[in-house]
């Protein structure tokens, strides 16, 4: 089994548990590839979340936490190398131009320490869209004007802006994994993007762009624990990705050891509904000298045995050694 997207409470205030416990749980469940992908730092006080302010976490603290994450992730990668392939990555933020500029600097500063990028958008109009419903509604309200008064038009502009921000991220950084592609409808899973022509056209352009440089679209099981019947992306979006020739990988988007492999048992039925018959996973590329290559050389391999995975991530006893 594989997952390309995870967090821990050690380095993320809205997650739980230590990173090593996440790794040990992944081993216990039989994962063979597991991605450690902490959020990149944010760079403005206004972008701190309430739980971070409650813990007196500062912008400088976020920078230090990310450095500590990379150090710990690489320690675990070496320590458990005989039991699991750990990939060390990051999950992006795209709040304002500052975040994109700082991500460029971060990637240069930590060159060789980051295997791959999960490209995600969590904000529209610089407002979080997945924190809680009230904040999401505040984001929608930010599109209200004298010319925009109906809910449909607000939603149309919100969706278009989300996909524009996603396009900028994909074009600039070419992330190997596109994170929770349609997070924009977290609180409105029944909304069909095809009902909003401008947003739909931008979405198709994003899909074509990501496919063009070789990205994988994650099947993100976190949507199940958010009340969705589908994983991210919804089956209607999966149909568009498949029509363009896109490829899919798996992510549990766990926020602690308790959520490793959570709801993976629901994925086969979802994939069948969506018409997905192939899965892919990232692997570290090995040079002729046997060295793991930098982020740009991580490559995708087709997973040939996924339909026979035992119990689909329901706990299996595995001996885990430190």
Length of the chain: 322
41: number of Cβ within 10 Å: 21
For the stretch 64-110, pLDDT in tens is 999 999 999 999 999 999 999 999 999 999 999 999 999 999 999 99
Alpha-carbon span 2 to 234, nearest angstrom:
20
Q: Give the pLDDT of residue 293.
A: 38
Q: In 3-state terms, what secondary structure has residue 80?
A: coil
Grade residue 58 by pLDDT with cuts at 50, 70 and 90.
Answer: confident
* Model pTM score: 0.91
Q: Does position 289 have pLDDT exceeding 80, yes or no?
A: no
Q: For residue 95, what is the DSSP state?
A: S
For the stretch 190-228, pLDDT in tens is 999 999 999 999 999 999 999 999 999 999 999 999 999
Name the nearest CA neighbour of 316 among 70, 32, 6, 114: 32
Q: Give the pLDDT of residue 53.
A: 81
Question: How many DSSP H helices and E strands does the chain contain?
Answer: 10, 13
Domains annotated on the chain, with CATH: 2-313 (3.20.20.140)
Alpha-carbon span 248 to 179, nearest angstrom:
11
Q: Give the pLDDT of residue 288.
A: 45
Contact (Cβ atoms closer than 8 angstroms) between residue 150 and residue 121: no
Contact (Cβ atoms closer than 8 angstroms) between residue 258 and residue 16: yes
The separation between CA 132 and the C-alpha centre of its own chain, rounded to angstroms, equals 18
With 0-12 CB in 10 A as exposed, 13-18 as middle and 19+ as buried, what is 233? buried
Contact (Cβ atoms closer than 8 angstroms) between residue 33 and residue 281: yes
The CB-side HSE value for 301 (13 A sphere, CA atoms) comes to 12
């Amino acid at each position: 089994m594989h997952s390309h997207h995870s967090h821990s409470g050690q380095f993320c205030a809205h997650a739980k548990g230590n990173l090593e416990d996440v790794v040990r749980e992944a081993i216990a469940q039989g994962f063979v590839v597991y991605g450690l992908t902490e959020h990149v730092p944010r760079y403005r006080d206004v972008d701190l979340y309430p739980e971070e302010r409650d813990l007196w976490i500062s912008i400088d603290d976020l920078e230090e936490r990310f450095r500590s994450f990379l150090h710990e992730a690489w320690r675990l990668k070496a320590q458990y190398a005989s039991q699991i392939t750990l990939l060390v990555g990051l999950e992006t933020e795209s709040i304002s131009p500052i975040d994109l500029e700082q991500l460029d600097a971060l990637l240069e500063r930590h060159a060789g320490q980051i295997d791959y990028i999960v490209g995600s958008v969590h904000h529209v109009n610089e407002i979080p869209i997945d924190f809680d419903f009230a904040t999401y509604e505040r984001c929608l309200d930010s599109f209200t004007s004298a010319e925009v008064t109906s809910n449909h038009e607000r939603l149309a502009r919100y969706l278009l802006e989300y996909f524009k921000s996603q396009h900028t991220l994909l074009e600039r950084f070419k992330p190997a994994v596109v994170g929770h592609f349609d997070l924009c409808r977290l609180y409105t899973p029944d909304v069909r993007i095809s009902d909003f022509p401008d947003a739909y056209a931008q979405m198709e352009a994003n899909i074509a762009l990501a496919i063009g440089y070789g990205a994988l679209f994650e099947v993100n099981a976190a949507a199940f624990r958010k009340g969705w019947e589908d994983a991210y992306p919804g089956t209607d979006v999966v149909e568009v990705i498949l029509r363009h020739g896109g490829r899919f990988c798996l992510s549990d988007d766990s926020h602690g050891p308790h959520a490793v492999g959570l709801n993976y048992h629901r994925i086969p039925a979802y994939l069948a509904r969506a018409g997905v018959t192939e899965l892919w996973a990232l692997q570290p590329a090995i040079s002729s000298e046997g060295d793991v290559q930098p982020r740009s050389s991580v490559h995708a391999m087709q997973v040939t045995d996924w339909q026979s995975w035992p119990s689909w991530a329901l706990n299996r006893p595995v001996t885990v050694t430190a």
